[in-house]
Amino acid sequence: GQQLNQSPQSMFIQEGEDVSMNCTSSSIFNTWLWYKQDPGEGPVLLIALYKAGELTSNGRLTAQFGITRKDSFLNISASIPSDVGIYFCAGHLSGSARQLTFGSGTQLTVLP
Amino acid sequence: NAGVTQTPKFRVLKTGQSMTLLCAQDMNHEYMYWYRQDPGMGLRLIHYSVGEGTTAKGEVPDGYNVSRLKKQNFLLGLESAAPSQTSVYFCASSYGATATYEQYFGPGTRLTVT
């Protein structure tokens, strides 16, 4: 199946620092979604992007739909302890019905 | 609204046993999905449904069956469980409108097959 390369796999940061993570693919996507998963819970939708070049914020989170439509970025500003979790990107390929392709996740740890 | 709910939350099966996982959503969504999540593998689609009475295979359908008899419910069955089916199973749902691909997930079912 299609692959989404998500990096980094894990991050250890100090509280208050900014965080960046990204997803790339060799395929063109028409939608990018970012989810967060807390331990023992299901993924929760953070941001949805539908246009190339689109920049969308949700509080301290900002995500961008890459111009080439092959990548997306998520930034978290001024991290806090509750940002800990796994962040997943997901993309929708044209012609793939309703199916999403998921990245393998970025595990974020925030140190006090 | 409860959103997407899943039962049970945990289950331990012996090899060869069968079980059914239940997913329910109260958002009147057309589409429903079953995923499995394994360490380092992200989420992989097992089966999905585009409406009541319809189902389709996803990326990893072998060993699973599904049914969507009511719009709000999506059942995942394991007829003869195998240790390779030890995983966390998530159900999700989404609207049927075009150009809207956001999926909303349940809390998961943690299944261990011994």
Answer yes or no: are the C-beta atoms of B43 and B62 closer than 8 Å: no
Please identify every stretch of chain A with a pLDDT value under 70, giving residue numbers as ranges.
1-2
Buried b or exposed e, range A27-64, using 16+ CB within 10 angstroms: eebbbbbbbbbeeeebbebbbbbbebebebeeeebbbb
For residue B60, the model assigns a pLDDT of 95
User: Which tokens hold the place of A37?
Assistant: 């998963």
Count of CB pairs separated by less than 8 Å, A with B: 56
CA distance B29 to A35: 19
For residue B20, the model assigns a pLDDT of 98
CB contact under 8 A, A88 and B42: yes
User: Which tokens hold the place of B94?
Assistant: 């989404």
Angstroms from B80 CA to nearest CA on chain A: 26
Task: State the best of A3, A45, A100, A106 to mutate against chain B, taking most chain B CBs within 10 Å.
Answer: A100
Residue matched to tokens 């997901």: A90
For residue A3, the model assigns a pLDDT of 75
For A86, the closest chain B residue by CA position comes to B42
